[in-house]
Structure 1
Amino acid sequence: MTEIKNETTKKFREAFAADTKQRALQNAVVKNGIMRSAETQEARVENVQVFSVDLETGKVANQKKSGRCWMFAALNTFRHKLINSFQLKDFELSQNYTFFWDKYEKSNYFYENIIATADQELDSRKVAFLLATPQQDGGQWDMIVSLFKKYGVVPKTAMPESKNSSDSSELNNYLNKKLRRDAVVLRTMLEEGQSAEAVQARKEELLQEIYNFLAVSLGTPPDVFDFEYRDENKDYHLDQGLTPLSFYEKYVGVDLDEYISVINAPTKDKPFNKTYTVEMLGNVVGDKPVKYLNVDMTTFKKLAVQQLEQGESVWFGCDVGQSSNRENGIMALNAYEINELFDIDFTMSKAERLDYGESLMTHAMVLTGVDVVDGESTKWKVENSWGEKVGEKGFFVMSDAWMDEYTYQIVVRKEFLNAELLKAWEEEPKVLAPWDPMGALA
């Protein structure tokens, strides 16, 4: 290894001091910060909130200080349907209800993985991976499908937000403390040679504690409830004695088996028109695993446009922090001129960013519109879940070029797949390692 010599640093300092452009930039960036100094007007001009396809969706929701974007995005796609079908205004489904069951199921999923890896040393990569983050707020489309099928959904009035769902840091801190402590208990039992029956019995006791912890922190999920509302015509409605599953069937009625996850991951280890799953990625034990169909970007965007043109919004996952102006609600490659500001080339290809840890899916939102010019998409309307104080009352604009580079997943109906893609979807998926970038949780 070669050290940095003092003479070398002195040379760099003198070169910087002699460069008047660098010193002028220093004044601007030190005072205003990197992003504000590099912000462009061009991106704002090119990405106005006008779209040839623009769905009616109602007000934007707010996940607040939690990582529930994937959950909000999925529930928002259902909310759009309910608003239009039943003439509702400012209606939301309960994110807290789904949050409760996700934490409950993720705890059991963690326990089962700890039991399955009990023969491995603590410093094995899989055990270390499990213990690094026993559970978190994020998730994947197939994981939310598992929750909806098992637990249904409820209106927000049936299980409102709690302090710990709106700001989940304390809950996650203590839930992960408990799960790591429980991992000690379960691994010790197995090391001592106790029977599988004894281990499962102890696990059930630990799950009771998890349920109690969640009920105290989030409230008790309703078994039966009444749905009472006035529609936009001021007509009163009352539906009594509903269960979460019967509410889903009656008011949402979406056949979740008709939707699939399509990804764009242009790396050498993931050929297009093949399916993939990720080891140890899930929440509901016993349900179907996460599954993706990898396609090229042209196909990816075509599928999204088809669903939007049919009047249905699209759940999608992206790396929202890349070249994204939160205040103005613009995601565009030219939102900031960072390369020009520093005279440094930060450019990497999409595949390189995935392979070298520079990018992965970090956030899920909903596509609610697209601008199609001469048959080609040019920009996309995005419903976020950060409230109405960002973007245009919570809505963002995503340039088509930004979508190419930083969008990784969409969820669309299988009916839009051609025969070749449908055949590819039916194939057995390749299993990816738990730490693969396609295992990222939004």
Structure 2
Amino acid sequence: MWQMAKAISAEDLATFQKDLAETPASSVIQKAVMNNGVLAASENTDSKIAMDQTFSIDLSTGAVANQKQSGRCWMFAALNTMRHQIQAQFKLKDFELSQNYTFFWDKFEKSNYFYENVIATADADIDSRKVAWLMANPQGDGGQWDMLTALIDKYGIVPKSVMPETYSSSKSSELNSVLNLKLRKDAVTLRGAVANGESADAIQAKKEQMLSEIYRILSYTLGNPPTKFDFEYRDDDKEYHIDRDLTPQTFFKKYIGWDTDSFQSIINGPTADKPFNHLYTVEMLGNVVGGRQVRHLNLDIDTFKQLAIKQLENGETVWFGSDVGQSSDRQLGIMDTAIYDKDALFNTDFTMTKADRLDYGESLMTHAMVLTGVDIVDGKPTKWKVENSWGDKVGEKGYFVASDSWFDEFVYQVVINKRYLPSDLQAVIKNEYDKPTVLKPWDPMGALA
């Protein structure tokens, strides 16, 4: 039985101070941390040596992209996996697809998704957890693989040259502030309309006017998305090409040609509430109303990794989501559980299991990147090559390296072509596709990269 709360006493403080004084080299450690910070003081130089950029499987993918001051990593990573094919097939090593085009439609569709969720929850108290969660972030830059494919299924894609970056796509905080102000203000109106018993048609008419205003805001900040265009370019051999009168849908079909249904989101979420070998979705997670639903197949870490390796072995890059800030050096481009020894520095055990980190809010997916290589030694992966979207001034010209131990602990999602899945897992997807287990909106597997 828990006893009454106990305050920290003078005797407690004396004990703590005595323990500190008796800790070996305490004063030296204190000076090092005070002068250099926790990370520099605990840095392990052996990690820098071990994480060299040499891989037994190393796909050539060209120059990295740069999402700049925006949270579009999931979008960049997905479009990067698609542009790799164009770069190789059409000899365009620095080619990029328009992240601004998909950004426009994502913001627009997320606004409608938010309005529909506001209407659906209008009978709930404003301080209910679900409504509070909805209002905490009406829309943002983050997303999931299935959300990007939902946009492509509806709107297609275009080259970056057709819809280039703008101030607000590269530096999105001002736009997000304006959109979230409007969406929250509109939520007041929609909840009020439901409370007043207005008809469904009247409420939808209000919503359509709101969406017209959202479209105007997005057009002013991001530009007008093209409906028809010419694809004009010179390849790496300086040969001139032009393909006229394309639409975003015909461009995707002709130059990418993927069946988006062929790709499956795989997660490694080893928490008690999510048994492996089952399909999951997350309530209120998505962007396109009536579009593709987010569906995750939860697998154990060994199967999870073997599928990623199989796809790389076949020359195909892998979209993945991770907690990029954990045990990583952004400037060096190293992600390794051994890069900082905080346990030794503070003489404290900071160890948590992957499941405990998820359950207790210590970790979740924060960033999406692309696996472009892996180093296999004696049949086992030891490190992974990562194409980031932070420009070429970090890592090795924008490429990072992740140790296999880091992959185990902080990678949560990969996207795999279904043809690489064994028949039993394909059967799980088929059998549970229309009835995945629904997780709560705040489940960590619903985190947006």
- TM-score (structure 2 length as normaliser): 0.97
Amino acid at match of 1:156: K
Offset, 1:20? 5.5
Offset, 1:19? 4.1
Q: In structure 1, the residue corresponding to 2:25 is in which secondary structure?
A: helix
Q: In structure 2, the residue corresponding to 1:344 is in which secondary structure?
A: coil
Segments of 5+ residues of structure 1 without an aligned counterpart are: none
Q: Deviations over 1:3-42 (max 9, x none)?
A: 1123422442344245451211111111111111111111
1:172 corresponds to: 176
1:440 corresponds to: 447
Say whether residues 1:354 and 2:358 are aligned partners: yes
Structure-to-structure mapping, 1:251-330, within 5 angstroms:
251-330=255-334
Q: In structure 2, the residue corresponding to 1:93 is in which secondary structure?
A: coil
Distance (Å, rounded) in 1 between the aligned partners of 2:246 and 2:268 = 40
Structure-to-structure mapping, 1:367-382, within 5 angstroms:
367-382=371-386
Distance (Å, rounded) in 1 between the aligned partners of 2:127 and 2:327 = 37
- TM-score (structure 1 length as normaliser): 0.98
Distance (Å, rounded) in 2 between the aligned partners of 1:243 and 1:30 = 58
Q: Deviations over 1:157-207 (max 9, x none)?
A: 111111111111111111101000000011111111110000001100000
Task: Say which of 115, 130, 135 aligns to 1:131.
Answer: 135
Distance (Å, rounded) in 1 between the aligned partners of 2:12 and 2:346 = 20
- Range with bigger deviation, 5-14 or 406-415: 5-14
Offset, 1:360? 0.7
Amino acid at match of 2:200: A
- Range with bigger deviation, 287-296 or 174-183: 287-296
On the 8 A contact 1:83/1:91 being kept in 2, the answer is yes
On the 8 A contact 1:54/1:368 being kept in 2, the answer is yes
Distance (Å, rounded) in 2 between the aligned partners of 1:163 and 1:22 = 49
Distance (Å, rounded) in 2 between the aligned partners of 1:288 and 1:249 = 18
1:212 corresponds to: 216
On the 8 A contact 1:380/1:397 being kept in 2, the answer is yes
Q: Deviations over 1:130-157 (max 9, x none)?
A: 0010011000110000001111111111
Structure-to-structure mapping, 1:31-430, within 5 angstroms:
31-426=35-430, 427=432, 428-430=435-437
Distance (Å, rounded) in 1 between the aligned partners of 2:167 and 2:7 = 51
Distance (Å, rounded) in 2 between the aligned partners of 1:247 and 1:320 = 33
On the 8 A contact 2:61/2:93 being kept in 1, the answer is no
Offset, 1:269? 0.9
Amino acid at match of 1:55: L
Distance (Å, rounded) in 2 between the aligned partners of 1:402 and 1:236 = 44
Segments of 5+ residues of structure 2 without an aligned counterpart are: none
Q: Deviations over 1:281-309 (max 9, x none)?
A: 00000013110111111110110011001
Q: In structure 2, the residue corresponding to 1:137 is in which secondary structure?
A: coil
Distance (Å, rounded) in 1 between the aligned partners of 2:37 and 2:71 = 26
Amino acid at match of 1:99: F
Offset, 1:327? 1.2
Offset, 1:222? 0.9
Distance (Å, rounded) in 2 between the aligned partners of 1:8 and 1:309 = 58
Distance (Å, rounded) in 2 between the aligned partners of 1:252 and 1:328 = 33
Q: What is the alpha-carbon root mean square deviation over aligned residues?
A: 1.0
On the 8 A contact 1:16/1:23 being kept in 2, the answer is no
What percent of counterpart residues are identical? 61
Q: In structure 1, the residue corresponding to 2:220 is in which secondary structure?
A: helix
Distance (Å, rounded) in 2 between the aligned partners of 1:6 and 1:339 = 28
On the 8 A contact 1:379/1:398 being kept in 2, the answer is yes
On the 8 A contact 2:331/2:394 being kept in 1, the answer is yes
Distance (Å, rounded) in 1 between the aligned partners of 2:383 and 2:14 = 48
Distance (Å, rounded) in 2 between the aligned partners of 1:379 and 1:272 = 25
Distance (Å, rounded) in 2 between the aligned partners of 1:15 and 1:334 = 27
